[in-house]
Amino acid sequence: MGGPIARNPPRSPPYVLPCIIALAFLSLSALFLSKVDDFVSQTKTVAGHNLEPTPWHLFPPRTFSEDTRQERAYKIIKCSYLTCPYSTRRNNDTELEERRLFVSSLDTPKCPDFFRFIHKDLQPWAKTRITKDHVMAAKEHAAFRVVIVGGRIYVDLYYACVQSRLMFTVWGLLQLLRRYPGMLPDVDMMFDCMDKPSINRTEHGSFPLPLFRYCTTDAHFDIPFPDWSFWGWPETNIKPWDEQFREIKQGSQTKRWGNKLPLAFWKGNPDVDSPIRTELLQCNHSTKWRAQILRQNWVEEAKSGYEQSKLSNQCNHRYKIYAEGYAWSVSLKYILSCGSLALIITPQYEDFFTRGLIPRKNYWPVSPINLCHSIKFAVKWGNTHPLEAEAMGKKGQDFMENLSMDRVYDYMFHFISEYSKLQDFKPSPPSTALEVCAESLLCLADPKQREYLERSTTAPSPAPPCSLEPANANFMKSWIEKKKKTIEDVRVMVEKNALRR
């Protein structure tokens, strides 16, 4: 640049000033654009933009459908900053108050028994309560933080979640607020979205960390909360729960019990670092072990339009096996929905609703010790007690039918309400959090995600949530002991039977 200018005569010709102004303008716009670029690259979104995978569970980064950098920048700015402030769904205090009065005047049925686990899950904080320090310490293990204040959701994002888990989990919370407008208290919650619980009861015994995720174990403080798949799982073509349940139930009715194959069936992915699934492969023998174990090949099935993996076409066996994956598996609810007798290999992980299942009432417990023998025993028992087996299978299906989205929202409502009662501080969104509303989330969704999200949109509830029973430690204790005993009785039965032959 210096060259040509230096060669100019010393007296500035008239075009120099406009040139300088133009140059200044250009460099200002370049500066502006690079600032925008910076800004955009620091804006994290529920779609996963600008987020690294959780360090405790790595996975390949997501690819985005926007073609160019500009397109992406435009989308991020539009969805993250320019959507919620103009959202039309603003609460009207007068209307909310009228609604609250109306709803509280209605009779409410009792919540299902397993809702009582809410008290048990929150027991660790009953004395200490949940302080800001508890929440901030849980951040170390969290992928994101959700702060609800005045019926609005603010999300602070730390790490990406695999596939669309993050988006669908936040969507679930947005729908909860829509369902019970003006009824949710202010809360501050840390979430992780990967499979394995991380708050070890031994290690964190003196200072339990409240961390929401999709499952827990007896040895962890992690709080189980409904997983993303209740609102749909676009990557595997699994529909929003109410719709998916109806479809599976219908599919299950195409064959009467007597016409279903008198064998145990499992289809899934055995390559998920799950010892029990690996062992299950050994039981693949329809005469020796009365079991058919099939490998789910997602690549092949994606090619054939998922016809083979359609859940409603998988209810042709009298017995369906549930085996945990890397941790708990969302498949359990679809297995139980079939109305076949669910052979549940005694799980180590539990999600929020499986705690309500009762062995020999709505499923058959299978011991992981002597696995193939245990499966064969269950099938033989069922084939010699067909009426009981069918009834037990039906009860499993009824249990899932009872767990409609209405109940899922009720569970979330009660959990969050009880959690908020323990908070000893007034939640407020951190400066790094952004408001997320239904419109902004839809704005970020790709076309397939949007389709699933829209299908799982809810409307304000015409009735209040079911009523939660008060905490009752004795009830819980005897529930858990009874369940353990039944499982143990079945294990002993199998063992005696295996010895006799």
Residues that bind ligand NAG (CB under 6 A): 92, 94-95, 112, 200, 202-203, 219, 281, 284, 293-295, 395, 398-399, 402
Q: In the complex, what is the shortest distance from the CB of residue 222 to ligand NAG, in angstroms, rounded to a whole number?
A: 11
Helix, strand, coil shares, percent, the chain, to 5 = 50, 15, 40
Q: In the complex, what is the shortest distance from the CB of residue 80 to ligand NAG, in angstroms, rounded to a whole number?
A: 26
> How far apart are the C-alpha atoms of 131 and 150, rounded to whole Å?
20
Q: In the complex, what is the shortest distance from the CB of residue 403 to ligand NAG, in angstroms, rounded to a whole number?
A: 9
Is 288 or 455 the residue whose CB approaches ligand NAG more closely? 288
C-alpha neighbours within 13 Å on the C-beta side of residue 267? 15
In whole angstroms, how far apart are CA 159 and each of 49, 93, 165, 462? 10, 35, 12, 37
Q: Which of 285, 360, 359, 354 is nearest to 324 (CA)?
A: 354
Say how far residue 97 (Cα) sits from the centre of its chain.
31
Is 352 or 452 the residue whose CB approaches ligand NAG more closely? 352
User: Could you tell me how many residues make up the chain?
Assistant: 501
Is 284 or 457 the residue whose CB approaches ligand NAG more closely? 284
Helix 371-384 / helix 386-402 crossing angle, nearest 10 deg:
110
Q: From the CB of residue 369, how many other CB atoms can be counted at a distance below 10 Å?
A: 11
Q: Which of 180, 185, 177, 170 is nearest to 417 (CA)?
A: 185
Is 377 or 399 the residue whose CB approaches ligand NAG more closely? 399
Amino acid letter for position 265: F
Q: End-to-end alpha-carbon separation of the chain, Å?
A: 94
Is 249 or 448 the residue whose CB approaches ligand NAG more closely? 249
Helix (H) or strand (E) holding 343: strand 341-345
Written as one string, the DSSP assignment of 52-70 is: PBPTTS--PPP-----SHH
Is 72 or 201 the residue whose CB approaches ligand NAG more closely? 201
Q: In the complex, what is the shortest distance from the CB of residue 104 to ligand NAG, in angstroms, rounded to a whole number?
A: 18
Is 360 or 448 the residue whose CB approaches ligand NAG more closely? 360
Q: Which of 449, 458, 450 is nearest to 409 (CA)?
A: 458
> 277 and 325 in contact (C-beta within 8 Å)?
yes
Is 155 or 323 the residue whose CB approaches ligand NAG more closely? 323
Residue holding tokens 């699933």? 452
Three-state secondary structure along 260-322?
CEEEEEEEECCCCCCHHHHHHHCCCECCCCCEEEEECCHHHHHHCCCCCCCHHHCCCEEEEEE
Q: In the complex, what is the shortest distance from the CB of residue 366 to ligand NAG, in angstroms, rounded to a whole number?
A: 18
> How far apart are the C-alpha atoms of 152 and 393, rounded to whole Å?
42
Q: What are phi and psi of 410, to 5 degrees?
A: -65, -40
Q: In the complex, what is the shortest distance from the CB of residue 414 to ligand NAG, in angstroms, rounded to a whole number?
A: 15
Is 92 or 467 the residue whose CB approaches ligand NAG more closely? 92
Is 234 or 270 the residue whose CB approaches ligand NAG more closely? 270
Q: In the complex, what is the shortest distance from the CB of residue 182 to ligand NAG, in angstroms, rounded to a whole number?
A: 12
Is 199 or 434 the residue whose CB approaches ligand NAG more closely? 199
Is 345 or 453 the residue whose CB approaches ligand NAG more closely? 345
Q: In the complex, what is the shortest distance from the CB of residue 358 to ligand NAG, in angstroms, rounded to a whole number?
A: 9
Q: In the complex, what is the shortest distance from the CB of residue 194 to ligand NAG, in angstroms, rounded to a whole number?
A: 15
> How far apart are the C-alpha atoms of 395 and 391, rounded to whole Å?
6
Q: In the complex, what is the shortest distance from the CB of residue 20 to ligand NAG, in angstroms, rounded to a whole number?
A: 53
Q: In the complex, what is the shortest distance from the CB of residue 468 to ligand NAG, in angstroms, rounded to a whole number?
A: 13
In whole angstroms, how far apart are CA 146 and each of 321, 374, 418, 427, 428? 36, 43, 16, 10, 10
Is 120 or 196 the residue whose CB approaches ligand NAG more closely? 196
Torsion 200-205-206-207 (CA) sign: positive
Q: In the complex, what is the shortest distance from the CB of residue 112 to ligand NAG, in angstroms, rounded to a whole number?
A: 6
Q: In the complex, what is the shortest distance from the CB of residue 94 to ligand NAG, in angstroms, rounded to a whole number?
A: 4
C-alpha neighbours within 13 Å on the C-beta side of residue 105? 6
